[in-house]
């Protein structure tokens, strides 16, 4: 981490606990960079109330303060509107007699000093499998629509003026986690009644909530990555329930799912970055300091342009595939063959005569092949692609090593 990132993390640690900032700053702060990083980490609005209380000698200038204030007000307004809509939605669900478990932000937001600043882009709701059709009909009757090609654990419901709803019937992706069904079957049995917006809604038990937060981070590691806001959720939940956590049971649950090392690693990350208290008990596994440092660096390693975005997407696709290396080489061979031997449609762009005389396609194909052998542009295209693929593969191997060190591959 650079100094601006360290300062951001320090601000965040005080902010989520609603404490005044007490650190001594002996380095230069670039507030523009701090603001940009805070937005990328989805924590800018969480920090703003503390920024207004900083000593004037370290406060940002008025232009940055104004941008920060505007962002915070906007987030607060949007989230307040979402919560207002949620109340009527929960009323409809309760009236329909559909048992649900509220997930993630709907529960965790209440742990923050300013709940309206803990942003949500969707409402996550868990239903039992036998209630899926009933819930779908209800949401459609309320003006929501959904895509027919939904995945193996959730459906996304869209509304022209309301927040996205993710309707889950599973919390894990089949095949990703060992003994996932053991966890799925336990969730409803362990769930507890809770009041959200004055409605009696069920939530995950304390230990299941911690497991779910860790599993959610596992899935994000294979996709868009983890940000500081996700770590804040885990920190606040653990700290608010520290005396109630049955650590022996939690470790047993994690062992069943083979995520003990990952869970421990995330607790250590939260301790290193946000000073979260760690349990004084033997967990039975050791974490990798090297992998944790790589993970922290990865949190701040952002995609900066379209090329990096494509590369990052390719890396994650390799990680999602258990035979990633084999698929990588297979796809690379396909790509080079496609450059040298384009399809009929591709050939017609440069050899228009086959459009009217398709029987001349073999001649055009040989003409293209001979031209490609001596063409500097084709060689350049292949070399550039090979370099990009090699870079992608190297990043894939680095991230795979990190995941293995964290205990999730």
5-63 residue pLDDT tens: 999 999 999 999 999 998 888 788 999 999 999 999 999 999 999 999 998 888 899 99
Query: pLDDT exceeding 70 applies to what percent of the chain?
Result: 79
Mean of pLDDT values over 302-318: 64
- What is the value of pTM for the model shown? 0.81
Residue 287 falls inside a structural domain: no
Residue 326 pLDDT > 60? no
Residue 75 falls inside a structural domain: no
Residue 52 falls inside a structural domain: no
Residue 376 falls inside a structural domain: yes
Q: CB of 79 within 8 A of CB of 106?
A: no
Sign of CA dihedral 163, 168, 173, 179: positive
Residue 24 falls inside a structural domain: no
229-269 residue pLDDT tens? 999 999 999 999 999 999 999 999 999 998 999 999 999 99
Mean of pLDDT values over 76-80: 93
Q: CB of 32 within 8 A of CB of 68?
A: no
Residue 78 falls inside a structural domain: no
**Cβ-proximal residues to 329 (8 Å cutoff; 6+ apart), any chain:** none
Q: Specify the range with the lowest mean pLDDT, choosing from 87-101, 247-261, 288-302, 326-340.
A: 326-340
Q: Band of the pLDDT at 323, cuts 50, 70, 90?
A: very low
Q: Give the whole-angstrom CA distance, residue 234 versus residue 270.
A: 8
Q: Band of the pLDDT at 64, cuts 50, 70, 90?
A: very high
Residue 21 falls inside a structural domain: no
Query: Using CA atoms in the order 377, 311, 146, 91, what is the torsion angle rounded to 10 degrees?
Result: -160
Residue 230 falls inside a structural domain: no
Q: What burial letters (b/e) apply to 332-343, b meaning 16+ CB within 10 Å?
A: beeeeeeeeebe
155-187 residue pLDDT tens? 999 998 888 999 999 998 766 778 888 899 899
Q: CB of 315 within 8 A of CB of 392?
A: yes
Q: How long is the chain?
A: 409
Q: What are phi and psi of 227, to 5 degrees?
A: -120, 175
Q: Specify the range with the lowest mean pLDDT, choosing from 71-75, 145-149, 229-233.
A: 145-149
Q: Band of the pLDDT at 132, cuts 50, 70, 90?
A: very high
| Confidence (pLDDT) at 26 | 78
Q: CB of 293 within 8 A of CB of 252?
A: no
103-114 residue pLDDT tens? 998 899 999 999
Q: CB of 51 within 8 A of CB of 38?
A: no
Number of domains composing the chain: 1
Domain that holds residue 352: 306-406
Q: Give the whole-angstrom CA distance, residue 112 versus residue 45.
A: 12
């Amino acid at each position: 981490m650079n100094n601006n990132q360290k300062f951001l993390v320090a601000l965040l640690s005080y902010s989520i606990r609603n404490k005044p900032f007490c650190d001594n700053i002996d380095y230069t702060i670039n507030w523009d960079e701090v603001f940009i990083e805070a937005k990328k980490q989805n924590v800018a609005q969480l920090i703003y109330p503390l920024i207004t209380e900083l000593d004037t000698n370290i406060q940002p200038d008025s232009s940055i303060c104004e941008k920060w204030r505007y962002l915070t007000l906007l987030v607060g307004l949007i989230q307040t509107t979402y919560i207002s809509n949620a109340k009527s939605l929960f009323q409809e669900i309760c009236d329909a007699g559909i048992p649900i478990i509220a997930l993630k932000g709907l529960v965790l937001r209440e742990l923050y000093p300013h709940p309206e600043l803990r942003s949500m882009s969707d409402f996550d709701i868990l239903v039992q499998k036998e209630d899926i059709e009933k819930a779908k009909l209800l949401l459609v009757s309320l003006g929501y629509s959904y895509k027919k090609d939904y995945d193996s654990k959730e459906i996304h419901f869209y509304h022209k003026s309301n927040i996205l709803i993710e309707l889950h019937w599973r919390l894990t992706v089949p095949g990703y986690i060992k003994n996932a069904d053991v966890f799925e079957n336990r969730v409803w049995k362990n769930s507890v009644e809770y009041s959200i917006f004055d409605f009696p809604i069920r939530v995950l038990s304390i230990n299941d909530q911690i497991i779910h937060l860790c599993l959610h981070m596992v899935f994000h590691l294979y996709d868009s990555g983890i940000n500081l806001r996700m770590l804040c959720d885990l920190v606040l939940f653990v700290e608010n329930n520290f005396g109630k956590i049955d650590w022996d049971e939690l470790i047993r649950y994690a062992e069943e799912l083979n995520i003990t090392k990952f869970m421990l690693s995330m607790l250590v990350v939260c301790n290193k970055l946000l000073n979260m208290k760690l349990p004084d008990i033997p967990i039975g596994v050791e974490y990798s300091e090297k992998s944790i440092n790589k993970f922290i660096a990865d949190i701040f390693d952002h995609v900066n342009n379209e090329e990096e975005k494509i590369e990052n997407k390719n890396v994650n696709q390799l990680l999602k595939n258990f035979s990633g290396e084999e698929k990588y080489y297979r796809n690379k061979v396909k790509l080079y063959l496609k450059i040298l031997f384009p399809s009929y449609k591709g050939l017609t762009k440069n050899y228009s005569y086959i459009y009217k005389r398709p029987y001349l396609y073999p001649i055009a194909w040989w003409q293209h092949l001979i031209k490609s052998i001596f063409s500097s542009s084709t060689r350049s295209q292949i070399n550039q692609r090979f370099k990009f693929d090699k870079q992608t593969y190297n990043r894939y191997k680095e991230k795979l090593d990190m995941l293995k060190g964290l205990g999730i591959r």
